[in-house]
Each structure stands twice: as C-alpha cells, then as structure tokens.
Amino acid sequence: MRQDRHVTPAPPPGSGGLPDPYTPGHGSPDYTVAHYDLDLEVKLASNRLAGRARLRATANRRLETITLSLAGLRVLKAQVEGARAKAVQRGDELRITPATPVPEGRDFSLEVRYEGSPGPTDGEWGDVGWEELEDGILVAGQPVGAPTWFPCNDHPSQKATFRISASADAGYRVVSNGLVVGHRRKASRETWIYEVHEPMAPYLATLLIGRFQLLELGRLPRREYPAVGVFAAVPPALRQDALTGLRDQQAMLALFTDLFGPYPFRDYTVVVTEDELEIPLEAQTLSIVGRNHITRSWESQRLLAHELAHQWFGNSVTARTWEDIWLHEGFACYAEWLWSEHAGQGSVASRAEAAWTLVAAQRQDLAVGAPGAAMMFDDRVYKRGALALHAVRRVLGDDRFFRALRAFCEENRHANASTADFLELLDRVGAGAPGFEAHAVLRPWLFEGPLPPLPA
C-alpha cells in the first residue's frame, strides 16, 4: 500500500532533510539554531508555564521572517538581535518578522517570551508533548511534542546545545537532559539548571517534574572520559522496586558499550513516574518509564534495554528524516535481542525466529524503510527492522557486522544519518565479504512487501 513511498524524492542536499513530508509545517531549512537557552517558570497546581527562550542561530538565507513551531502557548514579546520584532501565531506556527531582515550567513539572537497552560498536541501519533501527571508533569517529545513547551526549529536534523532552567514548587524535583549545573531554593520555589553540551534534536529535549529522589545505581568506567554515572529518579515509595527492576542497567550499558562503542553522553538516568505509562519514552541522556515498567519480567527488561540503546541509535546518531525511523527502532529492537542472549533469556536466533513468525502472520504491505508518517511507529518497523539487521549479520559475519555498527556510531556521533549512509558504510566494511552488497541484502527487508526468509 505504501511501498511506493521509498521513491519519494529526497530533500535537496544541504537542506538538512527539510521540508520533511512526515511532519509538514515542522522545521525550517532557512536558519540553523546552535543553542537554546530556556528559562521556565512552572506552576503545577494551575498548570501554568511562563517561558523565555533565547536562541542563537545562523541565517542560511536572507531572512525577512523566521518561522518556528510553538503549540498552544501565547507569545508576549519577540526580539531579534535585541530589537523588537513582530510575532504572528497561526496554529502551531510562529512567524517572527525582524525590524530589519537578517542577511544570509549572519549569526543572530532571537528571544521569545511566552506563557499559557501547556498541554499535548493530538495528531497522527496520539497525544504528544507536555502532559500533566497525577502529581507533576512530563514531556513526550517524539515526534512533534517539543513546540508544546518551547519555540523551536522542530526537526531531528536540527540539533543544538541547550541550557534549560526550570523552577517549580518547592519539594518537587525538575529532571531534564544533560547535567545539573545549578540548583537553588528560594521561598516556595526551587530552580534547577541543566546543560546539554552534545547537540540534541528538539524532540529529545524533555522536562519532568515530580517528587523524585535521585538514586545512584552505579558507575561504568571508561577509558578517556569520566565514568558514566547511572542514576534513577524515582518517587520515594518506588525506591525498592526501582532498585530491583533497574539492577541490570549497568550490565546493559556495559554490553552495549562493548557492541556499539562508547556511551555517547556523560551520564544516564532512568526516570520512573508515579503514574503507569503506556510506553516508555526516550530522551537524550534519559529514559522515562512508568511504575509498571520496573518489574523483573522480560517485557519490562526488554523495554529498559530498548530505551538505553536509543542513546546510541536515535539520540547520538539521529535519523536525518523521519522516514529513516527504522535506524532508531529496528536497531533498538535488535539491542533487546542482544541483551536477551547476554542475560540468558533466549538467543538472538530464537528471538529473530519468533519475530519473523509474528511479522509473517501480519499484513506484508509496509516498507519499513519508508513506512509513511502514519505507520512510522508501527510494530513492524521495529521487528522487521531488527530482522533486517539480523539478515545483514548472517551474511557479513559477526566480526564485520559489529565493526559496522561501531563505525556507524563513531562516524555519525551527535549527528544525523540516513539509510543511504548506513548502506554505504556496510559496503565499505563488508568489502572483504564474498559477494556482499548491502543494498541487495537490505532492499527486500526495507523496501519490499513480502517478508524474505532469514539467511541461513
């Protein structure tokens, strides 16, 4: 049905994958944001947000207007290079007209003050973005949730560094991406400041506010950098459950470091919400799981492995366009199987056979390498994507296969990659393997309907 999607012409080179037909209206090729500086004031009882976003950006062409995404919040004031600018909001689009156009190639600053009662946007993928919990909030950014809490150039190809300062009622902990660089308490308010030094796609930015306690689960030494700190932010009542449920996090981190290369960030934190969550959420340096995801069951443990693997596949190496989402989900699903084998929960071969049987019983009308916007989080993108990797591994052999995965992470660290980049890399690494041609192996898995048999 959607098999013809893969012939969609790719966006022109240099456009950063924009415009992206999967998320029309999100992301602009006209400018590149280098840094977001967010100051947020959150009132939990009334769910009010007052924000000031200061962006540093570069004009990729002469800018008479600057288009950002901002959903459900009202702009009070906008400035470009310190001068008052006109702001017009239409739907989720924010158009800022500077007093004088920004010349092509010029670095510029942009400041937006805004406020409102944030909430999720509902679309093709259900509710995404800012969400009120029983006692706190969370942000589910993927794929278009970022504009529900800050104005941004909303696309996975538009990575930037961040400083996120958020204040909330005293007694609550604010958790966000990167490292805590400041924390102060004043009267009835507490402010937490985070810095993200590795470029981050806006959808991977998150904010959680809750009655969290921070637990250190362990540290994983690494050669050239400080050890990776592994933490959990949990409601005090869930402390014991979290310590039990999350006790393999360090071993998972060690395994994935062996297989995929160094952990791409400084620390890693699993945030456990007081509420149950339908699915866990990935964010840069964080995973967000519900209280229902910290059991010892395989279903919980596979999800924990899956979310951790996204730090390599999705967060550090991010798809250039949403069409390449299998580069996140197929790889993270394959990481589940790798953990399964390591943990004595079933070999990769048995997991692959089970997945093959499951996918074979479903309709075979989806090209997982070009699933279309509506189907990009379909289970087949995950499982058949993982099967595609297993097919490559069987043809290439373990040594070359894992060398290719590590090279993919290394070459595209904190950047963007496409399926074409992965194929090119496989051909390079597979050059010595007799008769190997990446496109020939992967095409039936990624771009054709009928499910191919797994290579012997």
Positions in the binding site for Zn ion (CB under 5 A): 329, 332
One-character DSSP codes across 42-74: EETTTTEEEEEEEEEEEESS-BSSEEEE--S-E
Q: Which residue is nearest to Zn ion (CB)?
A: 332
Q: Which two tokens stand for residue 150?
A: 């800050």
Question: Could you count the other beta carbons within 10 Å of the beta carbon of residue 430?
Answer: 22
Q: How far apart are CA 180 and CA 36, in angstroms?
A: 16
Q: Which two tokens stand for residue 385?
A: 């994507």
Q: State the amino acid at position 94 in one-letter form.
A: L
Nearer to Zn ion, 265 or 382 (CB): 382
Using the structure block, give the residue that is written with the tokens 């209206």: 25
Nearer to Zn ion, 70 or 335 (CB): 335
| Amino acid occupying residue 101 | P
Of 75 and 327, which CB lies nearer to Zn ion in the complex structure?
327
Supply angle C-alpha 372, 376, 379, rounded to 5.
Answer: 130
Q: Which residue has the tokens 């297989």?
A: 259
Beta carbon nearer to Zn ion, 178 or 330? 330
Q: Quote the least distance from Cβ 244 to Zn ion, whole Å.
A: 24
Question: Is 414:159 a contact under the CB 8 Å cutoff?
Answer: yes
Question: Are 231 and 268 in contact, with CB atoms under 8 Å apart?
Answer: yes
> Which amino acid, residue 346?
G
Nearer to Zn ion, 151 or 264 (CB): 264
Q: Is the dihedral of CA 370, 372, 377, 381 positive or negative?
A: negative
Pairing of strands 317-319, 415-417: parallel
Nearest distance in Å: CB 328, Zn ion: 6
Residue 55 has which token pair? 């962006």
Residue 298 Cβ, how far from Zn ion at the closest point, in Å? 17
CA distance 290 to 234: 10
CA distance 347 to 74: 52
Nearer to Zn ion, 27 or 385 (CB): 385
Distance in Å, CB of 306 to Zn ion, minimum:
6
Spatial CB neighbours of 173, under 8 Å, sequence gap ≥ 6? 190, 192, 209, 210, 211, 212, 213, 214, 233
CB of 310 to Zn ion, least distance (A): 6
Of 202, 197, 205, 127, give the one whose Cα is nearest residue 166.
205
Our CB check for Zn ion shows the closer of 111 and 329 to be 329
Task: Give 110 or 366: the residue with its C-beta nearer to Zn ion.
Answer: 366
Closest distance of CB 77 from Zn ion, Å: 38
Q: Which is nearer to Zn ion, 163 or 380 (CB)?
A: 380
Q: How many H-runs (helices) and E-runs (strands) does the chain carry? A: 9, 22
Q: To the nearest whole angstrom, how small is the minimum distance from the Cβ of residue 447 to Zn ion?
A: 21
Q: Where are the alpha helices (DSSP H) in 116-245?
A: 239-245
Q: Closer CB to Zn ion, residue 323 or residue 329?
A: 329
Q: Which residue lies nearer to Zn ion by CB, 63 or 294?
A: 294
Looking at beta carbons only, is 44 or 279 nearer to Zn ion? 279
Q: How far is the CB of 137 from Zn ion (least distance, A)?
A: 22
Q: Which residues of 149-164 are buried (b: 16+ CB within 10 A; e: fewer)?
A: bbbbbbbbbbbbbbbb
Is there a contact between 255 and 339 (Cβ–Cβ < 8 Å)?
yes
* Shortest CB 292 distance to Zn ion, Å: 17
